[in-house]
Structure 1
Amino acid sequence: MQLIDSHCHLDFPQFDSDRTQVLTACHQLGVTKLILAAVTRDHWARLWQLVENTEQPQLFGSFGLHPYFLNEHLPDDLQQLRQQLSNHQQHPRLCAIGEIGLDYYLPELDRQQQLFYFTEQLKLAKEFSLPVILHVRKAHAEVIQLLKQHALPRAGIVHAFSGSYEQALEYIKLGFLLGIGGAYTWPNAHKLRTMLPRLPLASIVLETDSPDMAPAFAAGQRNSPTNLPQICTELAPLFDIPATQLAQHTTHNAKQLFAWD
């Protein structure tokens, strides 16, 4: 069973003590590719060093400014982001701009500032013809409207999708894939678990968001990309298919989006 973790933060300090062991275990478990999503300018160098220096499993990187860390961003970061994208645009391990988006769940995050950084990064995605990795909380209507306005050439992934079925269809119409992970394994996630089998398999990718969003079977623990096979195994019955088939579909979807052989 080959799997792709379409969203994780393996560069975070929570993995400093055992990152090599985690990578070895991923390779042994069939997690063949992992996408490391950036969150602030300060993270870019560390993330990219890890991407370039790891061969098995293959690591892919994105550069972006996460809305949750809004107070750490400076307007000049956008120029630095353009420079990073320009420096690495021919590198096969650069796969996206992200993690970017809107987070209206936390009232202390200024919405106008979020919109500024988000729209500027959408412009960069269009300029460099890169997919985007989206973080969206309580702002799906606004994000969908902006995506329609900017008409990105390569769409992307809505990470940790938790919107409505109708919103899912809107993203799918725009060419986006929906990131599904640990949140869907919790038995009390009735809305998510009911919606999931209604979605076309061609629209789904798997993720862990590790070290965050631990699945039910790892409650209270650090989440890890090594949990992806079991996440796949637990979600497959919701589609009434074997785990191997869910792995095959989601891996194919990610490979198509990022133009990976």
Structure 2
Amino acid sequence: MSSWEGFFCLNPNILVLDSHFHLNYLNSLKLTLEKAIKKNVVTGIVAGVWNEDTLENLSFSMDPNLNSILCFLSKEMDIKNSFDLNKFSCFLSHGLHPMYVHEKWILENGKLNNEKISNDLSEFNQILLNNKNKIWAIGETGFDLSNDILKHKNCNSLTKQNLIEIQNIAFENCIQAAINYKLPVILHLRAPWNLCIQKIKWAKNQGVNNMMIHCYSGPAEELKILSKLSIYCSFGAVPTWQKATKNRDAFLKCDPLFRMLETDSPDLPPEIPGVGKLTENEPANLIEISKILAAHLNKTDIELIKSSNENAFRFLGIF
């Protein structure tokens, strides 16, 4: 029996972990975290989008209005004994998100802003060095060829291959950082899956240990390959949407040893039977998401949460 059994036992005080959410984008932060705590969602992995987001998240630890309710877990702590069910405890990640690359690094004429790239990479590495005891994962990083990027004014003169090459600058810097600091990697992947699999294999060959695809939106048939590569896949509220049959199929077919639950708050809110799709997302909604998705697996929500918790701790390298 795991020494963490107290966190996973089937009782009302089970610790619930949100595998991916955006702390600094949440509305009415203190109220939102209080709502989460009341539903036993008391910890989670905070997504890292860009340097300024990581710094904003870190600044919350110095906010006296949040000290009584929010804390950032440090690697110097005895994690097993550090959780307070009256506080929201964060595992912080630090990334260079592919959806920011075209805004940050590409000029309106389609040329690269090489000085900005150099400065951002230097700042990224310095933030990581300065806060290595509080940063538990690298990411988000990855590849995105969604219409939001392809149709952006900065990308009009660029091909998809051009964009992949520019996003790859951020990706490879993040992978090297993960290797240097022996950290897991959180992936954002909205690009052709042959490319995504290729880059995952490359990163694994470079020496990255644990990797997680957050808010998995790929084909269900790719999950066998990902399982063989020991890649974790996190699912949010999209599979709760009535029309999202492909996403739900992927959730159902994901290897339970590598499946996790997230909200991606405040984005992609769940669709609640009898209520409809909520207008925004928050960590507290993980309880409703787990109930809906557990029913599709013919499991209880507690069983699904327990499995997701264990996988998240394993992904982070805690046990």
TM-score, L = length of structure 1: 0.91
**Contact 1:78/1:121 (8 A) holds in 2:** no
Runs (4 or more) in structure 1 with deviation over 6 Å come to none
**Contact 2:97/2:142 (8 A) holds in 1:** yes
**Contact 1:51/1:59 (8 A) holds in 2:** no
**Contact 2:213/2:232 (8 A) holds in 1:** yes
**Contact 2:233/2:254 (8 A) holds in 1:** no
Identity rate, percent: 28
Counterpart of 1:197? 252
Rounded Cα–Cα distance in structure 2 between residues aligned with 1:248 and 1:64: 27
Counterpart of 1:50? 60
After TM superposition, list the pairs within 5 Å mapping 1:236-251 onto structure 2.
236-251=294-309
> 1:178 aligned to 225, 228, 233, which one?
233
Rounded Cα–Cα distance in structure 2 between residues aligned with 1:49 and 1:260: 25
205-214 or 114-123, larger mean C-alpha shift? 114-123
After TM superposition, list the pairs within 5 Å mapping 1:1-261 onto structure 2.
1-12=14-25, 14-15=26-27, 18-50=28-60, 53=67, 54-55=70-71, 56-70=87-101, 71-73=103-105, 74-75=116-117, 76-89=119-132, 91=133, 93-106=134-147, 107-108=150-151, 110-151=163-204, 152-217=207-272, 219-260=277-318
Rounded Cα–Cα distance in structure 2 between residues aligned with 1:204 and 1:246: 9
Deviation at 1:160, TM superposition (A): 0.7
**Contact 1:62/1:98 (8 A) holds in 2:** yes
Rounded Cα–Cα distance in structure 2 between residues aligned with 1:249 and 1:184: 18
Rounded Cα–Cα distance in structure 2 between residues aligned with 1:51 and 1:79: 24
**Contact 1:51/1:61 (8 A) holds in 2:** no
127-136 or 34-43, larger mean C-alpha shift? 34-43
**Contact 1:155/1:174 (8 A) holds in 2:** no
Aligned CA distance change for structure 1 residues 9 and 51 (closer, same or farther; 3 Å) = farther
**Contact 1:40/1:72 (8 A) holds in 2:** no
137-146 or 173-182, larger mean C-alpha shift? 137-146
Rounded Cα–Cα distance in structure 2 between residues aligned with 1:28 and 1:216: 21
Rounded Cα–Cα distance in structure 2 between residues aligned with 1:124 and 1:143: 19
| Deviations 1:61-100, CA, capped at 9 Å, x for gaps | 11111111112243121121111111222x2x42111111
Deviation at 1:156, TM superposition (A): 2.1
Rounded Cα–Cα distance in structure 2 between residues aligned with 1:49 and 1:101: 26
Amino acid at match of 1:201: P
Determine helix, strand or coil for the equivalent of 2:24: coil
* Alignment coverage as a number of residue pairs: 256
| Deviations 1:190-219, CA, capped at 9 Å, x for gaps | 112223222221111110111111111262
**Contact 1:102/1:139 (8 A) holds in 2:** no
TM-score, L = length of structure 2: 0.75
Amino acid at match of 1:88: N
| Deviations 1:222-261, CA, capped at 9 Å, x for gaps | 2111100010000001111111100110011001111336
Amino acid at match of 2:176: K
| Deviations 1:37-71, CA, capped at 9 Å, x for gaps | 12122212111223675231101211111111112
Rounded Cα–Cα distance in structure 2 between residues aligned with 1:7 and 1:51: 19
**Contact 1:9/1:37 (8 A) holds in 2:** yes
Determine helix, strand or coil for the equivalent of 2:142: strand
Rounded Cα–Cα distance in structure 1 between residues aligned with 2:210 and 2:51: 23
Q: Which runs of 5+ in 2 are unaligned?
A: 1-13, 72-86, 106-115, 156-162
Amino acid at match of 2:126: Q
Larger Rg computed on CA atoms: 2
